[in-house]
Structure 1
Amino acid sequence: MSDPTSMSSAAQVYKRFVPQPVRAAATTTVPVGVRRKVKRQLARTLGRREARLHRRALRRVRKAEFGRSERRTKAPDGRLGHVHTGLTVDLARRLDHDLVTQALDTADIPWFAVPALDDRRICLAVDQQDKGAVRRVLRALLEEHTGYVVSVSPAQNDTSDIPGSHVKAWKHYAKAKVIRLTWLRTDPTEHLWTGEDQGVEIEFWTTDTKLPQERLVGPRPNRVQRSVPSDAPGVEIGIDRLCGYADIDGDLEPTITLETFDVLRLEEITFPVDAVLLWQHPTPWGEELLRAALRSLHQYAPWVDVVHVVAEAEPPAWLKAGDRLSVVRTRPGTEWYLHQLPDLAEHFLLLRPGALFGRPVRPFDYFTPNGSTRPRRGPWNAQESFAPWTRAAYSATGRVASHGYAHGPQPHRVETLARLAGSGAAPLPLDDGQRLPVVPGTHPVDGVVHHVGHTAGLAEPSGEASVTLHGALPGIASHLTRLLVRRDTQQIQFLGLGTEEARTRGGTKAVVRFLRRYLPVPSVFEQDASHSSDKADHRP
């Protein structure tokens, strides 16, 4: 590192600047007390110098005035977090990125973004020679905007609960090849917390001069290459090109990477993906289901291009139609004819009433780069094998269905629906899942359409787990509590909220309370962000 004394102990500095023969002679000729006194004086000198450099870095960070939050609060685990109105997972990721990059720019430390293997986090690379300066400016940043630091390589997590402004939080820094900075963030209700699975990782790259062309070598593999030319030019690149969970909005500030990293990822989806939401129940709980679906798209699938609300009833007044949301009035049974929907993208996600995302998802979770869909498989039993949709699927393709499909958000293609319509197959009658007394099997549209797509090579079923809950389920409150605490389920489906059993047992009310707490942040698709559902039940 350019400043070896900044992170080294007095003994290490002593070994570095005093040659081995001199140290060996001093061991036998200089009294132990004198050697200890010299090392103590050296340690005090280093401490004063490090404190002076830290104060200088802190003044620079404070002068920049970035990274301010509305207020600080205590997280459930006792750590400090930051409150932001309108917080989303993607916004938290961009705040973290901007904090670190602006701090590095303040200290004149060169950096570039790296397409890391972990798609959830932003990864930045800096030169190993700048390690001392990086530590000082980042510690100052974490003092001004409370966050946490751990060593990723080698893995050391025992500092995850110590604020990064403390010196002991950096005890593994000298040997670290990769570190991770995290900030805990929450919305004003303190129901939504982000940061634990995100953060910014910083890799320390070294220079290899043994080859004819000087190269930078990374400390670990990434999605492109571990070694790049040291003179590779820098280019601007959207954060969505480095993180599959990010928003695709081109108006947002890009980041900087090297030209050699500006290549398509193996799992990168380049085509637009829309979302279709069905509106069927003009009731209070029906509105809550629609609101939750829109908020889950806003929170966990910001890469969706346009949302189409297909309304079989008068749409709610709070819907905010615009460039990203359209409302189309239709008749019941329209699911079979969604390929005729105006301006619908070739690839889209279908969310029926009660379907929502439970955590961040990527386009790759539902589509392959060549355009095939990845529908979610469901249970297969005797009841499924004799269901009407399996007979219809066999009639349309001549091939027997061998598995069902899960409830919840499902990917579809316009081409597959058009193929099915062209086959002359008669649409099956559709039941209202919110009025059924039990959880039904595979939805007929999903079963037939995905089977047709699979036989035509347009669908590759996947097995990601989904959770389906009926409103009349005994003990549903415990299931909802688990979902709320863990937040580890990718997609969720609620059914039966309109049944008498769900209303009398309190299941409908329990689900509505859960949705308000699970998705407390209003979406861009809502006309009135101050709706009562945002203010209700804010207790932790």
Structure 2
Amino acid sequence: MTLRQILRLTPWSVRRWVFEAVERRVLPRVAPERRLRIARTLMPLAPVRIRGRTGDATLRVRTADGLVTARVQAATGPVEVRRHNLDRVAQAFDLARIDWFRVPVRNPVRTAVAVPEADRSRVVRLLQELTARDHGLLRPVRPAGRKPQREPGVLAVYWPVTDPGGSMLLGREYACEVEFWQESDGRLRAPRRNPVADSIPAGEPEVVAPEPVFGPFSCPDDVTGYRTRRVFTAMDPDRIEFPIDVVYTWVDGDDPAWQRRKARALAENSWVDEINAQAANDSRYASRDELRYSLRALHSFAPWVRRVFLVTDDQVPAWLDLDHPRLTVVSHQEIFGDTGKLPTFNSQAIESRLHRIPGLAEHFLYLNDDVILGRPVTPDLFFTPGGLTRFFPSGARVDAAPRGPADRPADSAAKNNRRLIEETFGRVLTRKMMHTPHPSRRSVLTEIEKRFAEHVAATAGHQFRHPDDISLLSSLQQYYAYLTGRAAPGRIRYLYTDLAQPNTPLRLAGLLRSRNVDAFCLNDVDVHSAAVADQEALLAEFLPAYLPFSSPFELRRARPETTAATRTLTAPRQPFSTSDVALPPVA
């Protein structure tokens, strides 16, 4: 048995102690390009697989409460498992002719149905029989801060599901919770509070409502209906009802056709090597399949997204299903119109054009493909019900010195943003933004383009990152919207890690164990070529373990290689006008 296999079997506390000791005493003596390889060896990420009695049909998965037998599925997710638990309980009640109605719950990833307290014995007996099949579980829900009840007011019903590797368990957090409601004095009273009403008239009319009525963790076009009482169909003022899209930018730096385009552009832009090595370094264009896993996370953890737009230089990942109804691939040609210069290899130039995507919702999230959701999230993490965007300031500061020739491209852009904000509002921005999804509004971005037309056009015209660029999506829009009353600071739990750092395997192992962040960023800075393979191996182990379930955006059988987009523009690039955009007064 190898050291790696032995460490995989040891308790987490021991593994962490060993790693921290090696990090302190050994790694400083090792060449930098070899540190990640040693660290990766000491911190295996793939879980130990324990087969169930029925072979691959089930697996025994370790949890905080002990071993759990889970059904194995390769293509599913929280929404599907949540729906399965709810429908199985509801159908059983229908067959047994037990009266029930659905109620909203405070935890948006769970579901709940109400049944009469008078039917408790029948309900409990039915649920015991139901969960005895297919490895289901029936557990009491303990009220917060209270002692366990002899007859619990709420029971959790669920059938655990895991992936073929046993690395992710979809269990109790997606349970259907059965509430026993008492009837007295002409009213029905709940055993716990819910977001709408925990006491209703016994004669409250029964209606059928679609899935999105019961909470934000649902697909916006889901029309599946459930029995409920009319009072529960009222929309809470805190609910977000406007559509939200997601925009990704993606490039395959290994595509030979793309490499030829880049080489020609570099020959025409001799200034690139003279300014900064990071203006066009290869690591900026590396694709390690992060987009596949970011889309898996989006499907699993944000089902409320309306559409996904993938902006590329006429490239398509080999595994991507172009026929998915919620996916649109957008060419750079479509959004640059009469502005800028193509082909472009400048992420800041591309970001300055994203608000031009045809059909894009007013409210959208912008994600780099190395930004991945880490757990179920709801729209109010990113927007307010009134439509304001939230932004997430980092603890990192923008360098206070004036822009200089030694600045990295990202720092130059931040300082350019700072100058525009100071000239316009008399305020000095000091904090960078976290590497998270960026909530955005088309109207705000269009307004920025009109107010700072010269700077936006210059950024769009640079084929590689240039010292004069601004960073429109990842910094400027946040402060501009904030100072014009259309954004507010938010809070998000996230993890940022540099793949080149030797402590990254430990941090990813901890994340895989806890799954306690809303989003994480796997950033790859310019590194020694010898460490590239170790970074790729690290991601190849971590990402399938963290997000093992394939998404509907993936083909069952991938195309041979990255291909050109199947649709091409036959019409000329169209101009984009901001003449009808009114600029708000600046104090």
Partner of 1:239: 211
Change (3 A) 1:204 1:529: farther
Local SS of the residue matching 1:98:
helix
Distance 1:137 1:109, change over 3 A: same
Instruction: Determine helix, strand or coil for the equivalent of 1:119.
Output: coil
Out of 354, 360, 376, the residue aligned to residue 360 of structure 1 is 376
> Which letter maps to 1:357?
L
Preserved CA contact (<8 Å) 1:122 1:243: no
Structure 1 length normalisation: TM-score? 0.75
Written as runs of structure 1 = structure 2, the 5 A alignment for 1:261-280 is 261-280=232-251
Could you tell me how far apart the structure 2 residues matched to 1:364 and 1:484 are?
Answer: 25
How far does the alpha carbon of each residue in 1:104-139 deviate from its partner, in whole angstroms, 9 at most, with x for none? Answer: 112111111111222221111111101011011000
Cα 1:248/1:278, change in 2 over 3 Å: same
What is the Cα deviation at residue 504 of structure 1? 4.7
- In structure 1, what residue type is equivalent to 2:161? R
- Choose which of 257, 260, 274 in structure 1 pairs with 2:228: 257
In structure 2, relative to structure 1, the CA distance for the partners of 1:232 and 1:529 (3 Å cut) is farther
SS at match of 2:85: helix
Q: Distance in 2 between matches of 1:199 and 1:484?
A: 22
Distance 1:154 1:369 in 2: 29
Equivalent position of 1:494 in the other structure: 522
Unaligned runs of 5+ in 1: 1-68, 159-171, 436-441, 534-540
Q: Does 1:516 align with 2:544?
A: yes
CA distance in 2 between counterparts of 1:179 and 1:275 reads 36
Partner of 2:202: 230
Which deviates more from structure 2 when the two are superposed, residues 88-97 or residues 359-368?
A: 359-368
Structure 1 distance, partners of 2:68, 2:400, is: 49
Q: Structure 1 residue 346: deviation in Å? A: 0.6
What is the letter of the counterpart of residue 365 of structure 1?
L
Q: Are positions 1:374 and 2:345 aligned together?
A: no
Provide the rounded CA distance (Å) in 1 between the counterparts of 2:533 and 2:320: 30
Residue in 2 that maps onto 1:189: 165
Q: Distance in 2 between matches of 1:504 and 1:334?
A: 26
Using the size of structure 2 for normalisation, the TM-score is: 0.69
Deviations 1:259-291 (A, max 9, x none): 111011233211111110001343495150121
Q: Relative contact order: is structure 1 or structure 2 higher (C-alpha 8 Å, sep ≥ 6)?
A: 2
1:396/1:423 contact within 8 Å kept? no
Report what 1:74 is aligned to. Answer: 60
CA gap of 1:419–1:196, structure 2 versus 1, over 3 A, is: same
Q: Is the 8 A contact 1:151 1:176 kept in 2?
A: yes
* Equivalent-residue separation in structure 1 for 2:496 and 2:400 (angstroms): 17
Distance of 2:507 and 2:401 partners within structure 1: 29
Is the aligned partner of 1:324 residue 2:326? yes
Mark the CA change 1:403 to 1:502 in structure 2 (over 3 Å): closer, same or farther. Answer: farther
- Post-superposition shift, 1:154? 4.7
Aligned to 1:309: 310
User: Which residue, 447, 453, 458 being the options, matches 2:481?
Assistant: 453
Equivalent runs, 1:99-138 vs 2, <5 Å: 99-138=88-127
Distance 1:352 1:154, change over 3 A: closer
Question: Residue in 2 aligned with 1:439?
Answer: none
For each residue in 1:137-174, what CA deviation from the matched residue of structure 2 results, as whole angstroms up to 9, or x when unmatched? 0000011132223322456999xxxxxxxxxxxxx775
Match of 1:391 in 2: 419
Q: CA deviation at 1:393?
A: 2.7
* Residues 266 and 278 of structure 1, relative CA distance in 2, 3 Å threshold: same
Q: Please state how far the C-alpha of 1:185 moved relative to its aligned partner.
A: 0.9
**Partners of 1:128 and 1:208 in 2: CA distance:** 11
Deviates most, 402-411 or 456-465: 402-411
Cα separation, 2, equivalents of 1:449 and 1:415: 11
Question: How far off its partner does 1:444 sit?
Answer: 5.7
- The structure-2 alpha-carbon separation of the partners of 1:360 and 1:470, relative to structure 1 and needing over 3 Å to count, comes to same
Q: Distance in 2 between matches of 1:346 and 1:224?
A: 29
Structure 1 counterpart SS, 2:113 = strand
Sort the Cα spacing of 1:491 and 1:497 in 2 relative to 1 into closer, same or farther, 3 A.
Answer: same
Local SS of the residue matching 1:327:
strand
Aligned equivalents of 1:521, 1:531: Cα separation in 2: 20
Cα distance, 1:429 vs. partner?
A: 5.5
Quote the sequence identity (%): 29
Per-residue deviation, 1:258: 0.4
Instruction: Give per-residue Cα distances to partners, 1:1-60, cap 9 Å, x unaligned.
Output: xxxxxxxxxxxxxxxxxxxxxxxxxxxxxxxxxxxxxxxxxxxxxxxxxxxxxxxxxxxx
1:351 aligns with 2:367: yes
**RMSD (Å), alpha carbons:** 2.9
Question: What SS does structure 2 have at the residue aligned with 1:299?
Answer: helix
Note the alpha carbon deviations across 1:437-481, whole angstroms, 9 max, x for none.
xxxxx9663211011111122111212122111121113211111
Letter in 2 for 1:222: N
Q: How much has 1:519 moved relative to structure 2?
A: 1.6
Q: Quick check: 1:467–1:492 contact (8 Å CA) kept in 2?
A: yes
- What is the alpha-carbon distance in structure 2 between the residues aligned to residue 392 and residue 154 of structure 1? 53
**Is contact 1:267–1:369 with CA below 8 Å preserved after alignment?**
yes
Cα distance in 1 for residues equivalent to 2:125 and 2:505? 48
Residues 475 and 70 of structure 1, relative CA distance in 2, 3 Å threshold: closer
* Secondary structure, counterpart of 1:320 in structure 2: coil
Q: Which residue, 138, 147, 154 being the options, matches 1:178?
A: 154
Report the CA distance between 1:335 and its aligned residue.
Answer: 0.6
Larger radius of gyration: 1
Query: 1:6 corresponds to which residue?
Result: none
Q: Which amino acid aligns with 1:468?
A: Y
In structure 1, what is the Cα distance between the partners aligned to 2:87 and 2:401?
53
Deviation of 1:390 after TM superposition, in Å, equals: 2.0
Residue 342 of structure 1, CA deviation: 0.8
Distance in structure 2 (CA, Å) of the matches to 1:137 and 1:256: 20
The answer to whether the Cα contact below 8 Å between 2:140 and 2:152 also exists between their aligned partners in 1 is: yes
Whether the 8 Å CA contact 1:393–1:447 is kept in 2: the answer is: no
User: Is the 2:318–2:559 contact (alpha carbons within 8 Å) kept by the matching residues of 1?
Assistant: no
Q: Which residue of 1 aligns with 2:357?
A: 341
Alpha-carbon separation, structure 1, partners of 2:362 and 2:128: 48
Which residue, 493, 505, 515 being the options, matches 1:465? 493
Aligned length in residues: 438
Alignment map for 1:35-54 (pairs within 5 Å): none
| Residue 198 of structure 1, aligned match among 174, 184, 194 | 174
Greater CA drift, 516-525 or 119-128: 516-525
2:117 and 2:182 in contact (8 A); partners too: yes
Q: Which amino acid aligns with 2:121?
A: G
Deviation track 1:402-437 (CA, whole Å, cap 9, x = no partner) reads 54311021111101101111112513869x9xx9xx
Deviates more, 1:494-503 or 1:132-141: 494-503
Match of 1:161 in 2: none
Q: Is the contact between residue 240 and residue 248 of structure 1 (CA under 8 Å) also seen in structure 2?
A: yes
- Offset from partner CA, 1:55-114 (integer Å, 9 cap, x none): xxxxxxxxxxxxxx9822211231211122311011110011011111111211111111
Distance 2:95 2:146 in 1: 28
The separation in 1 between residues aligned to 2:143 and 2:301, in whole angstroms, is: 31
Gap change, CA 1:327 and 1:400, over 3 Å in 2: same
Q: Which residue of 2 aligns with 1:299?
A: 300
What's 1:24 paired with? none
Unaligned runs of 5+ in 2: 1-54, 256-285, 333-343, 403-413, 562-587
With over 3 angstroms needed to count, the CA separation of the structure-2 counterparts of 1:525 and 1:224, relative to structure 1, is same
In 2, the alpha carbon distance for the partners of 1:301 and 1:523 equals 12
Q: Is the 8 A contact 1:282 1:314 kept in 2?
A: no
